[in-house]
A and B are shown apart, each in its own frame.
Chain A
Amino acid sequence: KAGVTQTPRYLIKTRGQQVTLSCSPISGHRSVSWYQQTPGQGLQFLFEYFSETQRNKGNFPGRFSGRQFSNSRSEMNVSTLELGDSALYLCASSTGQCTDTQYFGPGTRLTVL
């Protein structure tokens, strides 16, 4: 069974731009969660999507948004990029049961100049 895939793997943007990251979950998984990893703040939860609906949300500004499609693939969008948005963005998939294990993708490394 293929794992979680994320595209692109690396991105370089400038301040003020917007960016869209993509995540394809493990086949059969309906939940996709997004996490931001930075040296200063560590791993932080952004949001979770299940059956095309945002089910859970972390403490991030509205510039961070996401969506999920009917095939469970998810996209995350960051608008008006700031230098502090430079991070590794990790996507995780699970069946959607709150007790289930989350399996992570390789991440997208975003650099904001």
Chain B
Amino acid sequence: AQKVTQAQTEISVVEKEDVTLDCVYETRDTTYYLFWYKQPPSGELVFLIRRNSFDEQNEISGRYSWNFQKSTSSFNFTITASQVVDSAVYFCALSEARGVTSGSRLTFGEGTQLTVNP
């Protein structure tokens, strides 16, 4: 069975600080996909990034960066120079590639509530 763990329940930082959100996953599959979603108070889950298990390159998108390490089964997310608008719950999720007939499902971590104070 697959599992995603986000050990940090809540993080509070001051604006302009860098913050890293941790994500550790478990899966028996060799092919899988990892995601990060952001959930603002409005409730909608906003897609941020997707990585597949064969691509361990780190990625940077503006103030966001992601560090994927298969050796430690981690997919961490860093926000540089945080802003108040970054305040939200962030979810890490895992999807196993089971084939067309089996479809897919996302297994989510517990989420990390990030509060950025002015």
Residues in A lying within 8 Å of B, measured CB to CB = 31, 33, 35, 42-45, 48, 50, 55-56, 58, 88, 90, 92, 94, 96-107, 109
- Interface of B, secondary structure class, is loop
B45 and A90 form a contact (CB under 8 A): yes
Q: How far is the CB of A58 from chain B (nearest CB, A)?
A: 7
A88 and B43 form a contact (CB under 8 A): yes
Q: In the complex, A109 Cα to B100 Cα: how many Å? A: 31
* Size of interface on B: residues with Cβ below 8 Å to A: 28
Q: In the complex, A107 Cα to B43 Cα: how many Å? A: 7
Contacts of A101 in B (CB 8 A): 35, 47, 50
Q: How far is the CB of B88 from chain A (nearest CB, A)?
A: 13
- CB-nearest residue of chain A relative to B46? A104
- Interface of A, secondary structure class, is strand
Contact flag A42-B97 (CB < 8 Å), given A33-B105, A56-B102: no
Interface members, chain B 92-110 (any A CB < 8 Å): 95, 97-110
A109 and B43 form a contact (CB under 8 A): yes
Q: How far is the CB of A61 from chain B (nearest CB, A)?
A: 17
Q: Which of B45, B47, B97 contacts A99 (CB 8 A)?
A: B97
CB within 8 Å: A-B pair count = 71
Contacts of B42 in A (CB 8 A): 106
Q: Which of B47, B97, B104, B109 contacts A56 (CB 8 A)?
A: B104
Q: In the complex, A109 Cα to B43 Cα: how many Å? A: 9
B102 and A55 form a contact (CB under 8 A): yes
- CB-nearest residue of chain B relative to A105? B44
B103 and A31 form a contact (CB under 8 A): yes
Contacts of A99 in B (CB 8 A): 33, 52, 97, 104
20 contacts between A and B (CB under 8 A): A31-B103, A42-B110, A43-B106, A45-B107, A50-B103, A55-B101, A58-B105, A88-B43, A90-B45, A96-B100, A98-B102, A99-B52, A101-B47, A102-B47, A104-B47, A105-B44, A106-B42, A107-B43, A107-B44, A109-B43
